[in-house]
């Protein structure tokens, strides 16, 4: 089973603790304010490092706080009270979603995305946050969800959850490579006089533990499903065992909604965050124009580029191409990757050659080594016979943010219809890709782009940044990577069971 997001957490299982992941991957613990005691500064922004074990952090964080408070669920005893303020009608304290950081004095970021995660040994690889412009006052349905939401997503922040990041290292150490992590959170034994065990983190001492109790009393007679659920839930609190498989994550981020020309400081927007099972790089495009190759070149064994009509496979005087020069590197592209070409001299044997010294009338003959200049593609991939597949990756962005090739044709992405969301990475910034009505693939972004022969400008909030596309020995070709996103599931606890005579005993 894969890990999945939870639309709501249950602090009766996890306690009122959440892991704050800052923009720079610094980690800290913070409290969920289910009780007044939990709002104290001592439970805010408690920093830890990637080598700390989560089961040891819990007693350190709570500092002898009574378990009843740590496990407490907010209840204002107001179910019969009516209010005209939405905050009094619906409590979002445990809800998956974005919000302003209440304790902003503790953090540099303005927003947090609260995203409870049910953990298994198959963790997500990323967490991504999108913005959809506008307050979203219309009615959403399955018929307009793509046009209203998917096609308007703008990427705000991506968090890496693999071992390439401090967060991923911490997750692996605690939940994947940790031999003490429970195989199951609950072991139910329905036989008489046999213990069932609640597995998790010991609230008082830290470390993983198993607490046992008989469940004969609750099994001896038929109970409503609500009673059984409550018994299991309360047993975690009563045994002072923290449920091990739910982690309350909050990802911190900033955002400055803009157009290419100005900031939208006071705009109303929506944010959507998702865990990703995968972010697969499918292809690349590049504004780099590779050196022209002669039409008759072939690639021989050892990735040698050979032209039967010229010693230089890059020389093409008919089209004004000067050929090989030693002052800059030469690259060829294959399947979206760029490989440097090296020039070398090779001995091909010994032959009898005539020579004449100075003004002498005598011609001498001698055996001399014959050398030829060759060109080799530096790659571990065998490119023999693939000359027709080289240098096919040119692409840029036009003034309407559409992907186009060298001949101003729309670029196509194989299998584009197989995924709902694609993104392109340009200089470390991700942008959403959508299919436009004219058949093009278009970038949805706050930015605008202008490509020139040796550079390009991207502009946002009235500020332009110029990026050079010149290639030299310190700067390889610019490559824009295109990814297909695979979203993790999001699930919910079923707490809206209709209380009927049937539902008291079973439900699906």
Summarize pLDDT for 358-375 with one digit per residue, the tens: 666 666 666 666 778 899
The number of CA neighbours under 13 Å toward the Cβ of 470 is: 7
Question: How many CB atoms within 10 Å of residue 449?
Answer: 21
Summarize pLDDT for 75-134 with one digit per residue, the tens: 877 666 777 776 666 678 999 999 999 777 889 999 999 999 999 989 999 999 999 999
Which pLDDT band, with edges at 50, 70 and 90, does 507 fall under?
Answer: very low
Summarize pLDDT for 409-467 with one digit per residue, the tens: 999 999 999 999 999 999 999 999 999 999 999 999 999 999 998 899 999 999 999 99
Q: In degrees rounded to 5, what are phi and psi of residue 145?
A: -65, -40
Which pLDDT band, with edges at 50, 70 and 90, does 499 fall under?
Answer: low
Which pLDDT band, with edges at 50, 70 and 90, does 137 fall under?
Answer: confident
CA distance 395 to 409: 10
Report field, pTM of the whole predicted structure over 0.85: yes
Amino acid 268: pLDDT: 92
Assess whether pLDDT exceeds 80 at residue 56: yes
| Mean pLDDT calculated for residue range 13-23 | 97
CA distance 350 to 366: 10
How far from 149 is each of 6, 338, 412, 434, 487, CA to CA, in Å?
21, 36, 23, 11, 15
Question: Domain-by-domain residue ranges, the chain?
Answer: 4-178+247-279, 186-243, 282-286+392-487, 298-389
CA distance 68 to 12: 10
Which pLDDT band, with edges at 50, 70 and 90, does 204 fall under?
Answer: very high
Residues 6+ apart with CB under 8 A from 26: 47, 166
> What's the chain's length in residues?
508
């Amino acid at each position: 089973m894969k890990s999945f997001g939870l639309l709501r957490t249950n602090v009766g299982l996890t306690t009122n603790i959440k892991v704050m992941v800052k923009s720079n991957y610094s980690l800290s613990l913070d409290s969920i304010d289910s009780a007044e005691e939990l709002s104290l500064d001592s439970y805010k922004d408690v920093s830890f490092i990637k080598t700390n074990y989560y089961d040891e952090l819990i007693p350190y964080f709570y500092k002898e706080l009574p378990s009843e408070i740590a496990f407490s669920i907010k209840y204002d005893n107001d179910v019969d009270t009516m209010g005209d303020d939405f905050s009094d009608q619906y409590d979002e304290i445990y809800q998956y979603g974005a919000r302003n950081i209440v304790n902003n004095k503790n953090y540099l970021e303005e927003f947090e995305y609260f995203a409870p995660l049910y953990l298994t040994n198959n963790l997500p690889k990323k967490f991504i946050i999108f913005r959809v412009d506008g307050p979203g006052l219309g009615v959403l349905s399955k018929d307009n969800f793509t046009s209203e939401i998917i096609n308007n997503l703008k990427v705000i922040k991506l968090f890496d959850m693999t071992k390439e990041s401090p967060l991923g290292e911490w997750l692996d150490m605690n939940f994947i490579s940790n031999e003490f992590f429970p195989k199951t959170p609950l072991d139910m034994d329905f036989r008489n006089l046999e213990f069932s065990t609640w597995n998790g983190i010991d609230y008082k001492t830290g470390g993983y533990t198993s607490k046992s109790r008989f469940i004969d009393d609750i099994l001896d007679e038929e109970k409503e499903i609500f009673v059984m659920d409550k018994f299991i839930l309360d047993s975690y609190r009563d045994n002072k065992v923290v449920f091990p498989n739910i982690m309350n994550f909050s990802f911190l981020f900033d955002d400055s909604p803009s157009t290419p020309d100005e900031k939208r400081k006071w705009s109303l927007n929506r944010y959507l965050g998702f865990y990703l099972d995968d972010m697969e790089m499918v292809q690349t495009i590049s504004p780099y124009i590779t050196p022209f190759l002669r039409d008759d070149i072939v690639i021989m064994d050892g990735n040698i580029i050979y032209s039967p009509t010229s010693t230089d496979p890059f020389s093409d005087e008919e089209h004004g191409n000067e050929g090989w020069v030693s002052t800059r590197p030469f690259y060829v592209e294959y399947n979206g990757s760029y490989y440097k070409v090296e020039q070398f001299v090779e001995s091909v044997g010994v032959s009898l050659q005539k020579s004449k010294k100075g003004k002498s009338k005598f011609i001498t003959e001698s055996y001399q080594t014959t050398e030829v200049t060759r060109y080799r593609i530096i790659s571990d991939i065998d490119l023999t016979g693939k000359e027709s597949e080289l240098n096919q990756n040119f692409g840029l962005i036009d003034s309407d943010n559409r992907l186009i090739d060298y001949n101003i044709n729309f670029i196509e992405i194989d299998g584009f219809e197989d995924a709902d969301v694609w993104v392109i990475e340009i200089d470390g910034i991700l942008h959403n890709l959508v299919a436009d009505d004219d058949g093009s693939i278009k970038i949805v972004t706050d930015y605008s782009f202008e490509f020139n022969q040796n550079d390009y400008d991207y502009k946002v909030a009235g500020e332009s940044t110029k990026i050079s596309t010149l290639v030299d020995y310190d700067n390889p070709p610019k490559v824009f990577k295109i990814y297909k996103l695979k979203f993790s599931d999001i699930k919910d606890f079923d707490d809206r069971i209709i209380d009927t005579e049937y539902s008291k005993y079973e439900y699906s």
